[in-house]
Every structure is written in C-alpha cells, then in structure tokens.
Structure 1
Amino acid sequence: MKQFSILMQKEWRENIRNYKIYWVPAIFILLGITEPVVNFFLPQILQSSGGLPEGAVFEFPTPPPEQILAAVMEQFQTIGMAVLILAYMGTVAGERKSGTATLLYVRPLSFPAYFLSKWVVASAISLVSVWVGFLAGYYYTLLFFDRVEGMELFQMVGTYSIWVLLIVSIIVAASAAMPNGGLAAAVAFAIYLILQLTDGLFGAAWSISPVKLPQYAAAWLADSPDSGSLTGAIGIAALIILALLVFGSWISWKNKAKTKV
C-alpha cells in the first residue's frame, strides 16, 4: 500500500508537470460549451456568412435541451475519446522508451501497484474532465434553451462514466503492451473503432453489450433505459475493466526488459 501511495504521488506530479490536469478538462469544457452555443447562434452564423438571397428567412426549430446534451455526448464520443487516447497513449510506453522507467525497475517494484497508479490517475482526470464538460454544457443549455432535471443529468453522466473507465482501461493497457506511444494510440483507436463497428452490425442481438452504455446514458434524458440491459452492460464492462487491469499489470512486468537504458 505504501508503494502504491508513492507511485500515485509520482504519477500525479507527472500529470501536473505535463499540464494534463489542465488541458484535458479544458478541452472537454470547450466541447461541452460548443454544442449549445453553436445551436443557439446558428441563425446569426448563417446570416453573417453571406451568400444567401436577399430577404431570405430561415426558421430553425428550437431543439429540446435533452437533444443538446445528447449532442454534447456525441462530441465526447468522437473528439473527446481521441483526446483521451492521445493524452494517455504514452503513460507506460513513454516511460519505457525514454528510459525513465529504469529508475523504477531497478528497485523492488510491485507491477500491479505501478500499473494501477497510472490507471487511477488517468481515470480520475478523465472522469473529472467528462463531468465538468457535461456541467458546462448543461449550464449553457439552461442559459440558452431550457432546463433538464438534475437527476436525469446525474444518471446520464454516471452511466457514461462507466464507458469512460472502460476506454481509459483499454488505452492504459495498450500503452503497457506496445513499445511506444504511437503504436499504443493506433491499437487503442483500432479497438475503439472495432467495438463501434461490431455494435453497429450485431448490437441489436446483444442488449447487454458495454458498447451500448453511451446509448443507455442518453436514454436517461428521454425516459430510462431497460434496467436489465443496463445492469448487464455495466457488469460486463466491470469484468472487462478488471481483466484489463490484470493484463496491464502482467504485460508491464513482461515488458520491463524492453526498457531503454
């Protein structure tokens, strides 16, 4: 436990030095703000862009606030996930390639504590980023459109957080398995795309797929997702996360000999 605490402090200081605790949340806040602001000012943006016939009038139906927040989630699903992959693709592989991991590996090291410390910090920053991003989107949705019940927002973001933890687990495990951050990012992107493609092709026959967690999160805004399907999806996601933590710890130990000296 003491070693895990020390490794956590090291990882936290590292994320402060490389400013991840600042720029990752900042990007998610920007993504959260963009959707309601653009939708609200869209008529003015089109008019100021020019090229429209004189006297032309375009009437845009006011989108419901639930639709705005669902669109915010879509931004997180594309740009947001890419940001997390790029932010944490080198969390393990980068240390091995640069040789800084040698300072740790020459000492008695618990690799489960080593990997878990990186996963915990990456997960914490990612979850905080997602929550503040949604809160920023909610504030501007409330300002420009209408309110959404606070409990619905909490249920939506809570469900989506499980999905974020799964993606972070894939990213950090890929970083532990690959020799450098670039390959780790490629593997994480490939897994993410394969999951989305597989769910698009066969998801209708498997309601407890963890890939459906974003859909179930958005369903809280309309009514509520099927409780059995949601529970099953969360349970499978938790098992996959646990398996990735075990795999990441093992592969970190296995690849210690590949550290640059």
Structure 2
Amino acid sequence: MNSFRVLLKKEARENSRNYKMLWIPLVFIIFGILEPITNHFLPEIMKSVGNMPEGTEFLWPEFQGEDIFTSLLGQYQSIGVLVIILAFMGSISGERKSGTATLLYVRPISFRNYFLSKWIIVNAIVLGSVWLGFMASWYYIELLFNSVDVGHVLLFITTYSLSIIFVVTIVLTLSASLPTGGTAGVAIVITLVFQIIDSLLGQHWKISPWKLPLYATQWFQGDLNMQDFWSSIAATIILIIGLILIGITMSKRNAANTTI
C-alpha cells in the first residue's frame, strides 16, 4: 500500500510538472463556455458578417439548454476524446521508450499498482476536466437559455463520465501494449471510428459502450430504455475491468522492451 501511494504521488507530480493538470481542464472549460455563447449569438454574428442580400432572413431553431448540453457532448466526443488520446498515449509506452521506466522496474514494484496509479490519476484529471467543462457550460446555459433540471444534468454527466473512463482505459491499455504511435492509431480507430460506425449502424444493437453518450442525452428526453441502459452500463464496466487486467499484464510483459 505504501508503494502504491508513492506511485500515485509520482503520477500526480509528473502530470503537474508537464501542465496536463492545467491545460486539459482549460480545453474542456473553453469548449464548455463557447458552446452556449456561440449558439446564443450565432444569429447576430451571421447577420453582421454573412454578407447576405438585404432582406434575407434566417430561420434559426429555438435552442433549449438541453440541446446545448447535447451539442457540447458531441464536441467532447470528437475533439475532447482526441485530446485525451494525444495527451496520454505515451503514459506507459513513452516511459519505456525514454528509459524513465528503468528507474521503476529495477525496484520491486507491483505492475498492478503501477498501472492502477496511472489509471486513477489520468481518470481524475480527465473526469475533473469534463465536469468543469459541463459546469461552466451550465452556468451560461442558465444565463442565456432556459433552466435545466438539476437531476437530469447530473444523470447526464454521470452517465457520460463512465464513457470517458472507458476511453481512458482503452488509451492506457494500448499504451501498455503498443509503441506510442501505435497507441494513437488504434485508440483513434476504437474510440472515434467505432463511434461513427455505431452512429450509422447502431440501430441494429442496443447494448454497447458506444451507446452511453446517446443514453446520457436521453435523460433529457425522458425516453430512456432502462433495460438497455443498465445492460450497456454493465457491459462497459466488464470491458473496463478486462482492459485493466490486460493493461497490467502487458505492462509486465513489455517491461523487457524498456530502453536502457
């Protein structure tokens, strides 16, 4: 347990020194603020810079606060996930390549503690960033749009948080298994390409980790199928546990590939 605390402190200190604890929350907060502000002032912006003929009128949809949350989730699902991949794809493979891991592997450490310390700290950074982003957006939604039910917002963010944990686990497991470049490529395929496939063909299945963002938005609509929802939650948790076990195993197996 003492070695685990040491590894946690090491990861926290390392992510603080490389400013990931600062710039990743800032990215999510900026997107969270821009989404409601942009949607609120977009009609005025288009009228002032659109260079449209005089008398031209745009019929803009009446956005609700729930729509802004859904739109922001779409931003996080694309740009946000890409930020997570690029920020943490070298969490384990990068240490092997640079030789930093040698300083750890020569000690009698547990690879379970090694992997889990990274998993906990990275999830803390990413989840904190996502929640801060949604909270910042919520503030402006309340100012510029309608009031959104607190319970629905918390269920929406909590459901999406499990999807984010799934993404983080994929990235770290791939980092333990592959070189950094391979981690980035495969992670993009699994998280972003599979997401597109699910949006195009997802009507043929109801249970999937890639369904969680959709189910998160359905808290606002009130038409969530609870059986499909809980089945997807269970499937995601099982996959996360399985990926963690694979990550621990691959961290140990690839320790011999560390640059000396």
Q: Normalising by the residue count of structure 1, what TM-score does the alignment of the two structures yield?
A: 0.96
- Which one-letter code corresponds to 1:236 in the other structure? A
Q: How many Å separate the matches in 2 of 1:222 and 1:197?
A: 22
Residue 2 of structure 1 corresponds to which residue in structure 2?
Answer: 2
Q: How many Å separate the matches in 2 of 1:193 and 1:55?
A: 42
Q: How many Å separate the matches in 2 of 1:193 and 1:68?
A: 21
Deviations 1:204-231 (A, max 9, x none): 2321212100000000011151111111
User: What is the RMSD of the two structures over their aligned residues, measured on CA atoms?
Assistant: 1.3
Residue 33 of structure 2 corresponds to which residue in structure 1?
Answer: 33
Q: How many Å separate the matches in 2 of 1:249 and 1:116?
A: 8
Structure 1 gaps of 5+ residues are none
Using the TM superposition, give the Cα deviation of residue 56 of structure 1 relative to its aligned residue in structure 2, in angstroms.
3.1
Q: How many Å separate the matches in 2 of 1:82 and 1:2?
A: 34
Which aligned pairs between 1:57-72 and structure 2 lie closer than 5 A?
A: 57-72=57-72
2:143 counterpart of 1:143: yes
2:233 counterpart of 1:234: yes
Alignment partner of 1:199: what SS? helix
Using the TM superposition, give the Cα deviation of residue 75 of structure 1 relative to its aligned residue in structure 2, in angstroms.
0.5
Whether the 8 Å CA contact 2:78–2:192 is kept in 1: the answer is no
Bigger Cα displacement from structure 2, 51-60 vs 84-93: 51-60
Question: Cα distance 1:148–1:251, how it changes in 2: closer, same or farther (>3 A)?
Answer: same
Using the TM superposition, give the Cα deviation of residue 122 of structure 1 relative to its aligned residue in structure 2, in angstroms.
0.6
- Which one-letter code corresponds to 1:136 in the other structure? A
Deviations 1:57-105 (A, max 9, x none): 3342321111111001001011100011111101101111111110001
Q: Normalising by the residue count of structure 2, what TM-score does the alignment of the two structures yield?
A: 0.96
Which aligned pairs between 1:93-242 and structure 2 lie closer than 5 A?
A: 93-179=93-179, 181-200=180-199, 202-242=201-241
- Which one-letter code corresponds to 1:138 in the other structure? W
Q: How many Å separate the matches in 2 of 1:184 and 1:218?
A: 29
Residue 74 of structure 1 corresponds to which residue in structure 2?
Answer: 74
Where has structure 1 moved over 6 Å in runs of 4 or more? none
Using the TM superposition, give the Cα deviation of residue 44 of structure 1 relative to its aligned residue in structure 2, in angstroms.
1.7
Residue 87 of structure 2 corresponds to which residue in structure 1?
Answer: 87
2:245 counterpart of 1:246: yes
Using the TM superposition, give the Cα deviation of residue 197 of structure 1 relative to its aligned residue in structure 2, in angstroms.
4.2
Q: How many Å separate the matches in 1 of 2:47 and 2:151?
A: 38
Deviations 1:161-194 (A, max 9, x none): 1100000000001111112x22211110011134
Q: Percent identity?
A: 45
Structure 2 gaps of 5+ residues are none
Deviations 1:112-146 (A, max 9, x none): 10000001111111111111111111111111111
Aligned length: 260
- Which one-letter code corresponds to 2:257 in the other structure? K
- Which one-letter code corresponds to 2:253 in the other structure? K
